[in-house]
Amino acid sequence: MLTWSTPTSDGGSPVTGYRILRGATPGSEVFQVSVGTVAAYRDSANSRGVRYYYVIEAVNAVGTSPRSNEATAIAK
């Protein structure tokens, strides 16, 4: 389960959702899915035993935030 904290600043507009980006190597993340104002996501499209890399972007009326720090997980 991928979890994150809400941004400390919303840039003057409430967060309306998050973009999940995933890659197979560090720094290779591409857009996977948009989610609402939740702070967790379970990636069910993974291949067992494969390491994936993730970053999150917050979205609001102003635009998209800078990417989060990269997180990694091995699919089970």
What would the DSSP string read from start to end of 43-65? -TTPPTT-EEEEEEEEEETTEEP
Q: What ranges do the domains of the chain cover? A: 2-74
Residue 72 is predicted with a pLDDT of 94
Q: Which CATH architecture has domain 2-74?
A: Sandwich (2.60)
Residue 9 is predicted with a pLDDT of 85
pTM (2 d.p.): 0.91
Residue 8 is predicted with a pLDDT of 86
Residue 21: which residues within 8 A CB-CB, separation 6 or more?
29, 30, 31, 32, 54, 55, 56, 57, 67
Residue 67 is predicted with a pLDDT of 95
Q: Mind listing the pLDDT tens digit for each residue in 4-49? A: 998 888 888 999 999 999 999 999 999 999 999 999 999 987 788 8
